[in-house]
A and B are shown apart, each in its own frame.
Chain A
């Protein structure tokens, strides 16, 4: 472990970094130290601050406080340009490519080579092809368009773009495997190790703990904006047989340790008591696939029950929710609401079948921000405040909205407030209010507490419990595992496009659930079986 602890040879030191957003302290004197020639993992639950610190490093966010050294040189002002000049490169999670550019243009985007007569197209193409073939082991024609490549190949193009100028010293991989299949992941790991061996330091951000313990030399765990610990995972060593023995040999032990550090908190009493007396099935999903993001999803939700659906980025959870609501096409499978099979082609059909959605992106999909609370509340149920001929009864609409605002404690308690000016929690209440008085049988809540402060959260939980107690079935998709445990009766866990586990939440510990979502628990099971 000599190489990793030596403070004189650090590729990156970020110390005492603080960053606050309105209502949230995203980073609170956080530190991240990456040694030369190491693969350094960065893990933490959603909202722990890992993407924030990466964005501070990238010059996208300006830190409120703290200092950053790259290769022992302090950077006063972090801008995308200044960190790029110091050899820091980012492989972003989303494939930041132009679909109709070819491979050469993409690799050399913003770093084109100029010849005597305009662009040195042929030279760039040769370099891009050579780099992909020799360094990344992929034979790709430089003239192929990005949209004709596989996702894995697109990832390689991204990597080639970061490294082609030969100046890279520190490369940050942000969830690189979220879009990849198993074989591609192995290839990618080979590439990352090669990079490390060639003298480049790596920061590897991932939710998959099995990946962290396999590939990383050390890992820093973030929780609530603070780095709670940095653990050595051991060095790779070549054993007598010439094979590399990595730190992953005792991976599962290490994963448990990491999970404990990630979780490290109590579930508070912000959650209402479960009063589930599940009755008949109201939502039956059978063998649903979209052929791309998820396959063979089967589960049911009964009246009076709150079922959680969780899974990290790339698990297919969001796509599944979209499909259940008719926003995304499915290739296979069936869906029934209250025993009646329905073929979903649009959200309007879902609503009329008695299935309603509280969308994850409430600002874009859930609300008309420049309309009043009353208009937003009534928009889905205008027939309740209209005459038979479709004439809008303003007074009745306002009354109904006032009642709901009162009931849900939306603040300010005025139904003529423009929704844009409400806080996140109150906006979410408005979205919920819209569906409360409908006789919907199934509520799909998609990350209902994202960006909602703690006080409003517990009120939303109470509302959700109230919905279930009123006889509705609730499917709550969430990546906040404590929330899932606190409010749900059962939880479905998705990993890489499949529902891999279904558990009762009573008696399920948070670290068990973390292990399930990160795939490490299941890996253990498979390990025993093999």
Chain B
């Protein structure tokens, strides 16, 4: 189809694209910079891993890898939950999706389960009670964020403080040891098909939660809501439901994590939620560097958790001071977060 009337040639064209060799060089420099910044955290992590494996022969032994997988399970499971909330709410930590209450809720569940088991409650009922308590926190989070419209950071800070207060009060802020419980011991020490049971539980979480978030209609819509809320609304989606679901899914991850946590600690030691929180956040956002699109994903979060734990393990093997490891972790968080902020700026 050809029109006789001339095309509505605009009075003058749009601004021309930059040209010339100076601009070319600038563009190349920009690309290099972009790559360096966006992949920077991964390069730093890879370099650290290589360094650790050179320093300690034991680091890459299967026995040690199994131990890393076992140790990283709670972080990986909690990070999967946080990843879902970030995907549904957007990756702005202040106004977007964040749930800092998951580790505290899981710890509260652990406290409840331990208390019940020691008190003689049958296994099933003890775990069910713990699960309900953790899911309850998720429901409260969803309510506060979606209906009361609190920012997720404030809402989950509130439920974090409340959960910690509640379990410390309930167990008198003392350690409860669960001994001679076959299920608890099996989850802690058992292997199946050559893999530690906590690692298998992580794998199961990855398949289930990652599958829901990345391979279902619901999950894709949830990501659309997090990626561009107004676009999702225009497309006819109701964002509130997806955001609410993300908080409940996150608390479900808390339930799974509590099963691993009570076994690993043979009960509960008050205060474990603090370190879990730091590792969860670190793992989730480090994980974004693993995803091809450079966004937070469930597989990325799991990989991030294992990587972070591997580094901690490696530093311990070469006898770096525990507090120094904390310091190194802090710097790594900074590298990751600064990188994602800079990538965002460069894209503009």
Hey, which bits of chain A sit against chain B, CB under 8 A? 80-81, 84, 90, 92, 96-101, 105, 109-112, 114, 118-119, 145, 147, 161, 180-182, 185-186, 189-190, 193, 208, 210-211, 214, 239, 243-246, 248-249, 251, 289, 291-295, 316, 331, 495-498, 500, 519, 522-523, 526-527
Residues in A whose Cβ lies below 8 Å from that of B216: 118-119
17 more CB-based (< 8 A) A-B contacts, given A181-B13, A182-B7, A519-B10: A96-B228, A96-B230, A98-B224, A99-B228, A109-B221, A109-B231, A110-B232, A110-B237, A180-B14, A185-B8, A186-B7, A189-B7, A211-B8, A248-B8, A496-B12, A498-B15, A523-B8
Say whether A99 contacts B215, CB under 8 Å. no
Residue in contact with B10 in the complex, picked from A81, A96, A112, A496, CB distance below 8 Å: A496
User: Which residue on B lies nearest to A105, using beta carbons?
Assistant: B220
Distance, CA A523 to CA B5, complexed state (A): 13
Residues in B whose Cβ lies below 8 Å from that of A186: 7
Q: Which of B1-52 contact A (CB under 8 A)?
A: 1-16, 18
Known: A244-B1, A246-B5. A97 touches B231 (CB 8 A): yes
Say whether A294 contacts B15, CB under 8 Å. yes
Distance, CA A500 to CA B16, complexed state (A): 16
Known: A96-B230, A109-B235. A522 touches B11 (CB 8 A): yes
- The 0/1 profile, CB within 8 Å of A marked 1, for residues 139-162 of chain B is 000000000000000000000000
Say whether B12 contacts A109, CB under 8 Å. no
- The 0/1 profile, CB within 8 Å of A marked 1, for residues 203-236 of chain B is 0000000010001110011011001101111111
Say whether B221 contacts A239, CB under 8 Å. no
Distance, CA A84 to CA B234, complexed state (A): 10
- The 0/1 profile, CB within 8 Å of A marked 1, for residues 304-321 of chain B is 000000000000000000
Say whether A119 contacts B9, CB under 8 Å. no
Distance, CA A185 to CA B14, complexed state (A): 11
Least CB distance from B129 to A in Å reads 33
Least CB distance from B17 to A in Å reads 8
Residues in A whose Cβ lies below 8 Å from that of B215: 118-119
User: Which residue on A lies nearest to B233, using beta carbons?
Assistant: A80
Residues in A whose Cβ lies below 8 Å from that of B3: 214, 243-244, 246, 248
Say whether B11 contacts A496, CB under 8 Å. yes
Known: A100-B295, A185-B8. A497 touches B14 (CB 8 A): yes
Say whether A495 contacts B12, CB under 8 Å. yes
Residue in contact with A100 in the complex, picked from B9, B10, B227, CB distance below 8 Å: B227
Residue in contact with A182 in the complex, picked from B14, B236, B293, B294, CB distance below 8 Å: B14
Say whether B234 contacts A96, CB under 8 Å. yes
Q: Interface size for chain B: under 10, 10 to 19, 20 to 34, or 35 or more residues?
A: 35 or more
Residues in B whose Cβ lies below 8 Å from that of A316: 15
Residues in B whose Cβ lies below 8 Å from that of A193: 1
Residues in A whose Cβ lies below 8 Å from that of B234: 80, 90, 92, 96
Least CB distance from A224 to B in Å reads 27
Say whether A495 contacts B11, CB under 8 Å. yes
Distance, CA A342 to CA B234, complexed state (A): 43
- B63 close to A (CB within 8 Å): no
CB within 8 Å: A-B pair count: 136
Distance, CA A458 to CA B13, complexed state (A): 37
Least CB distance from B292 to A in Å reads 9
Distance, CA A181 to CA B16, complexed state (A): 10
User: Which residue on A lies nearest to B234, using beta carbons?
Assistant: A96
Residue in contact with B1 in the complex, picked from A97, A181, A190, CB distance below 8 Å: A190
Say whether B1 contacts A84, CB under 8 Å. no
Known: A96-B228, A118-B215. A112 touches B4 (CB 8 A): no
User: Which residue on B lies nearest to A121, using beta carbons?
Assistant: B215
Say whether A214 contacts B8, CB under 8 Å. yes
Residue in contact with B16 in the complex, picked from A118, A249, A295, CB distance below 8 Å: A295
Say whether B217 contacts A112, CB under 8 Å. yes
Residue in contact with B4 in the complex, picked from A244, A500, A519, CB distance below 8 Å: A244
Say whether B10 contacts A495, CB under 8 Å. yes
Distance, CA A118 to CA B207, complexed state (A): 13
Say whether B2 contacts A243, CB under 8 Å. yes
Residue in contact with A84 in the complex, picked from B18, B236, B295, CB distance below 8 Å: B236
Distance, CA A324 to CA B216, complexed state (A): 48
Say whether B14 contacts A110, CB under 8 Å. no
Say whether A251 contacts B231, CB under 8 Å. no
Say whether B18 contacts A114, CB under 8 Å. no
Residue in contact with B9 in the complex, picked from A110, A180, A182, A292, CB distance below 8 Å: A182
> Can you report 18 A-B residue pairs in the complex whose CB atoms are below 8 A from each other?
A84-B236, A98-B228, A112-B220, A119-B215, A182-B10, A182-B14, A210-B8, A214-B8, A243-B3, A243-B4, A246-B5, A249-B4, A289-B15, A291-B18, A495-B12, A496-B10, A496-B13, A497-B14
